[in-house]
Chains A and B, each alone.
Chain A
Amino acid sequence: MSIIDRLKPEFWDYTDVAAGPHEHLFDFRRMWKLAAFLTAAVAVIPLILLSALNYHVTQSSIESERLSRTARLVSNTRRTIFYFFEERRSALDFIVKENSFESLNRLGSLEQILKNLKNSFGGFTDLGLIDPLGRQRSYVGPFKLGGKDYSDQNWYREVLKNGVYISDVFLGFRNAPHIVIAVARSHPNGLSYVLRATLDIKKLDDLLSDVEVAGRGDAFIINRHGILQTPSLYHGKVLEKLSLPVPDYALKTQVVEGNDPNGVPLFIGYTYINDTPFILMVVKDKKALMKSWYKTRMKLIAFLGISITLILIVVVGMATYLVNKSYMADQKRIMTLHQVEYTNKMASIGRLAAGVAHEVNNPLAVINEKAGLIQDLVTLKHQFGGDPRLLELVGTILSSVKRAGTITKRLLSFSRNMEISVEPVNIKDLIDEVLSFLTKEAEYRSIRVSLIASEDVPPIESDRGKLQEIFLNLINNAFAAMSDGGNLDIEIKNGEEDKVLVTVADDGCGIAEPDLKRIFEPFFSTKAKKGGTGLGLSLTQNFVREIGGTMTVASKVGKGTNFTITLPLKMETKEGGTNEGVVNRR
């Protein structure tokens, strides 16, 4: 038996074989399904909807909070970077405006200025003064660049045009990443000279690495072609091409969602830094950032799962319980209907039998008297020559009439016992009477029947009809269980205080252990295919209860079955429950 079979309630596979058309009002499986699914749907659907809504709202609020935090970080960092360049540019501007070309070109002057710049700002590596012709006239720094001609270079043209120039990071002759800031001083005569400074990106790098970026974050600068200007942690080294696309130009700080080439979802915050070719980027790993949310989400889903499981268990349990209850009630109802039907049937048969018996009785009486008269004429009046053969014939007629008379009387006595009426009953005589119906069958099948009654068993006050019914059923069952040549022992003795015990024991096929528990259940039959209704023992037990007795059974397969009936000496005439009354009064 699989676990499903064991869990499956009784009504699941129920088909009422014995029921008539009006006795199958409920489809229990459908009822169960309806109850279970409807209740489950009503309970679970709103729960799921609410959870989904909650999930969505929480997720989007956490996301937008993370986005705005990133945006704040980006714009703060941008300000820092912007001021870094602005400061240095202003310083150079100031120097150019404060000093004339000649004073700057004086020996040792630039050296002094570079020293001062290094002290107050830091990050400057060298300083060069370029004359209006584009030649470097004076240079201080670690490299020998004095006299270099810049006149045909792009940056030089640009600084002349705009007054200021900030370069991308590049390696240049020095083979170290650096930035060039140049400012021009326009002379009234149209000739401009330029002060050119080189910045180490170390300072910038330090600035960026000081920025605390949560969630595997990365802050770096790129130029407008996507070349990394400062080293990044996860997206490439300095002067390499950034693995992400260059974001579109925007005036303000932007935060967008994107994926890296490996498909990892990212939050990308960026801003274009004014007056420079640089774009500041802050890139965060979305997963790391949303980690706390994922934890919460797991909890939420687990809670939802547990709730749904609990709800389903309770719903299924309740549905099973309720449907089982109504199944049992329905079983009882059908049982009652059957009982009523059975009682009615018996009553009808009884009436029919009574009618037939009565009608047969009259002609029997006539035959009886006519034959008797012939007998009288022969014996009393000595007519017909006292023929002994005639007497013999008449004697046979009379004894046959007597036999027929016994049969009609028995029919009548059976038919009259439909309603409960308490009268003194001698159990032994009653069982004898019942047995007389089965004498012929017992003879044919050579079944030995013994009826033993202790002498001291008093007549009991009970219902004769029910008792007949009970013992007829039991003895019939015993006959059915036995093979030819079996033994049926019926014993009547006194039980404890005001009880009489009747044991009906056969040595037939016996009842299997699992069936033993169910034999009194209505519609339980092992002979269903052979026309058994499964009602016999159930009704018998009902009758026993009706007359205040109890019935027990003991059986061993192959050894035989023992039914023991305990009957009260005096049956209590109770005013039964409403239903019982209805059933019994029919």
Chain B
Amino acid sequence: MKTRVLMVDDEKEFIQALSERLTLRDYDVTTAFSGEEAVEKMKNYLFDVTILDVLMPGMSGIETLREIKKIKPLVEVIMLTGHATIETAIEGMKLGAFDFLLKPCETEALVAKIDKAYTKKLEHDERIRAAKVAEIVDSPIAALKE
């Protein structure tokens, strides 16, 4: 299964080119041009990894991150930032972002980070599934009720 990636940045040219490149590398990429749009898409679709620009007009990266973590706590978020907002990126990490990257970034580095994040999410999902299985094994009736 392809890794489902949501890319959020107000710089359309940048995000389109990047999404195309990731698509070429076999990722399932969706783009959003603002924080609000990203939150909307997050509600409606399933994603594994989100790449989030920190500096955006309207809803900022950090606010978007908070919202996303509220809606889908399991989605891994990679912050994308100019250097000057590195503190913001660190703040993002504290809020549960997986990692951050400096613009302009090497595509290979980005791909590596996405894969890592995806692996982490998979492991996470796996553990949840295992826990659920254990639960079902423990009390199948309760699981059925659910």
A residues at B contact (CB < 8 Å): 354, 357-358, 361-362, 364-370, 372-373, 376-377, 380-381, 401-402, 405, 408-409, 412-413, 415-416
Contact = CB atoms under 8 A, between A and B. Distances in A.
Contact of A366 (B14, B24, B83): B14
Contacts of B55: 358
Given A354-B84, A401-B104, A409-B102, A362 B11 contact: yes
A413 B83 CA distance: 8
A192 B63 CA distance: 160
A410 B84 CA distance: 11
Given A364-B104, A365-B104, A373 B83 contact: no
A372 B17 contact: yes
Nearest to B85: A358
Interface string B68-87: 00000000000000111110
Given A369-B18, A412-B83, A377 B24 contact: yes
24 contacts: A354-B84, A357-B82, A357-B83, A358-B82, A358-B83, A358-B85, A361-B82, A361-B104, A362-B11, A364-B104, A365-B104, A365-B105, A366-B11, A366-B17, A368-B104, A369-B13, A369-B17, A372-B17, A376-B21, A376-B25, A376-B107, A402-B104, A413-B83, A415-B84
B2 interface: no
Chain B interface main SS type: helix
Contacts of B13: 366, 369-370
A401 B105 CA distance: 10
Contacts of A377: 24
B145 interface: no
A84 to B, nearest CB: 127
A49 to B, nearest CB: 76
B8 to A, nearest CB: 14
Given A366-B11, A373-B21, A380-B25, A416 B84 contact: yes
B103 interface: yes
Contacts of A405: 104
A365 B13 CA distance: 9
B20 interface: yes
Contacts of B18: 369
A62 B14 CA distance: 113
Given A366-B14, A373-B20, 16 more contacts: A358-B82, A361-B83, A362-B11, A362-B14, A365-B104, A366-B11, A368-B104, A369-B13, A369-B17, A369-B18, A372-B21, A373-B24, A377-B24, A412-B82, A415-B84, A416-B84
Contacts of B11: 362, 365-366
Interface in B1-56: 11, 13-14, 17-18, 20-21, 24-25, 55
A358 B86 CA distance: 12
Given A358-B84, A412-B83, A416-B84, A372 B14 contact: no
B82 A362 contact: yes
Contacts of B14: 362, 365-366, 369
Nearest to B103: A365
A578 B82 CA distance: 36
A409 B105 CA distance: 12
Nearest to A364: B104
Nearest to B14: A366
Contacts of A413: 83
Contacts of A367: 104
A373 B17 contact: yes
A354 B82 CA distance: 10
A355 to B, nearest CB: 8
Contact of B103 (A354, A362, A376, A415): A362
A372 B107 contact: yes
A368 B88 CA distance: 23
Nearest to A359: B82
A365 B17 CA distance: 10
A366 to B, nearest CB: 5
Contacts of B84: 354, 357-358, 412, 415-416
What 8 pairs between A and B have smallest CB-CB spacing? Answer: A369-B17, A412-B83, A365-B104, A368-B104, A365-B103, A366-B14, A358-B82, A366-B13
Nearest to A404: B104
Nearest to A371: B17
A369 B21 CA distance: 8
Nearest to B23: A376
Contacts of B20: 373, 376
A376 to B, nearest CB: 5
Q: Which of A369, A402, A413 gathers most chain B CB within 10 Å? A: A369
Interface in B87-105: 102-105
A361 B25 CA distance: 25
A377 B25 CA distance: 11
A399 to B, nearest CB: 12
B85 to A, nearest CB: 8
B83 A370 contact: no
Most buried by A among B11, B13, B83: B83
B83 A409 contact: yes
A228 to B, nearest CB: 120
A373 B14 CA distance: 11
B84 to A, nearest CB: 5
A380 B24 contact: yes
Nearest to B80: A365
Contacts of B25: 376, 380
Nearest to B107: A372
A364 B103 CA distance: 8
Nearest to A381: B24
Contacts of B105: 365, 368
Contacts of A415: 84
Contact of A376 (B24, B85, B104): B24
Q: Which of A366, A370, A402 has its CB near the most chain B CB atoms (within 10 A)?
A: A366
Contacts of B107: 369, 372, 376
A361 B17 CA distance: 16
A396 to B, nearest CB: 16
B89 to A, nearest CB: 13
B102 to A, nearest CB: 7
Contacts of A372: 17, 21, 107
A368 B83 CA distance: 16
A361 B14 CA distance: 11
B110 to A, nearest CB: 10
A496 B3 CA distance: 56
A200 B120 CA distance: 156
Contacts of B102: 409
A364 B25 CA distance: 22
